[in-house]
Amino acid sequence: MSQNETVYLNGNYTQKEKAKLSVLDRGFLFGDGVYELIPVYNQHIFYIENHIKRLKNSLDLIHINPSIIEDIKIIDIIKELIIKNNYVNHYIYIHISRGVDEARNHIYTKSCKPTVLIMGENYTPFSKQDIQKGKHAITENDYRWLRSNIKSTSLLANVLIKNKAYNEAAYEALLIRDGYLTEGSASNVFIVNDNVIKTPLLSNKLLPGITRKFLTDLIKKHNLEFSECEISEKDLFDSDEIFCSSSTNPVVPITKLDNMIVSEEAGPISMKMYDYTQDFIKEFYS
Ligand code: PMP
């Protein structure tokens, strides 16, 4: 299926295998671009306003004019891809690079026209049994740059760190900068302590995850105790529960951290958040 899928590239709808980019595209040469991943549930685009807002912010932070979103009518393109590919439950990537330049040069030409690629990707989220069992995570020094609030395609550090976790049979690496938790290599992190759900404050050190925002909305709706605060490495290891959030798997309980067992299986609040998420998706996207 995936090779014959229709993707959007720079104004054209084309087959995924036929979509081609220039070797002078700055996305390829420098990782000079940003992206967005948006879930589609039952043909509906999830939290679209929040995703578009973050994409515009990422573009703005790397000095690409965010008006491109409206100029090329990105939401209409996503809807068109859902119809053309008959996506029911799927994930849509929007990749925008600074574009093809005249030569390979760090300094970009102001007239560079951004490259826009929009394509689907199929992931199978974890089953409820997997979620209930929980996953293993490792901790790692957060050696990434200090602009991690930009959803940039320059993901080398995240790629290396996620692969380190994978090679240690772990789902995720939780990142520690100067003694404090920032996020995961590809997710945000929540902990639970004495029934209070906590997550690190937004800053330049972590991505403002849309699932983080969604879960925060759910926590407030269900009147659970919640705090956005600094979480030290010690707090992390002392927590009763830990879970990671991302668009592909909104709530992933971590039951083992490095060599420490957090809990035998997913804790009650993590499972509550998982169930609330599934219920919300069923209610609003069916
Ligand atoms: N942090 C990082 C570094 C990520 O790559 C991601 C997305 N995979 C997230 C957090 C979670 O963001 P979202 O909930 O928007 O998918």
For residue 36 and ligand 1, the question of a CB distance below 6 A is answered with no
Q: What is the pLDDT of residue 285?
A: 87
Q: For 82-91, what is the mean pLDDT?
A: 97
2 band by pLDDT with thresholds 50, 70 and 90: low
76 membership: H or E segment, kind and range: helix 74-85
For residue 100 and ligand 1, the question of a CB distance below 6 A is answered with no
Cα(145) to centroid(ligand 1), Å: 16
Q: pTM above 0.95?
A: yes
Q: Is pLDDT of 3 > 90? A: no
For residue 58 and ligand 1, the question of a CB distance below 6 A is answered with no
- 156-177: pLDDT as tens digits: 999 999 999 999 999 999 999 9
Q: What is the pLDDT of residue 286?
A: 84
Residue 50: CB atoms within 10 A of its CB come to 17
For residue 182 and ligand 1, the question of a CB distance below 6 A is answered with no
Computed over every residue of the chain, the mean pLDDT equals 97
Q: For 253-270, what is the mean pLDDT?
A: 98
Give me the domains of the chain, ranges plus CATH numbers: 6-121 (3.30.470.10), 128-284 (3.20.10.10)
Q: Is pLDDT of 235 > 80? A: yes
269 band by pLDDT with thresholds 50, 70 and 90: very high
CA-nearest residue, atom 5 of ligand 1: 186
Hey, what's the torsion of the CAs at 114, 149, 271, 217, to 10 degrees? -90
Q: Which long-range contacts (CB under 8 A, 24 or more apart) does 25-30 make?
A: 25/97, 25/99, 25/100, 25/115, 26/97, 26/98, 26/99, 26/100, 26/101, 26/108, 26/112, 27/95, 27/97, 27/98, 27/115, 27/153, 28/97, 29/104, 30/106, 30/154
Q: What is the pLDDT of residue 284?
A: 87
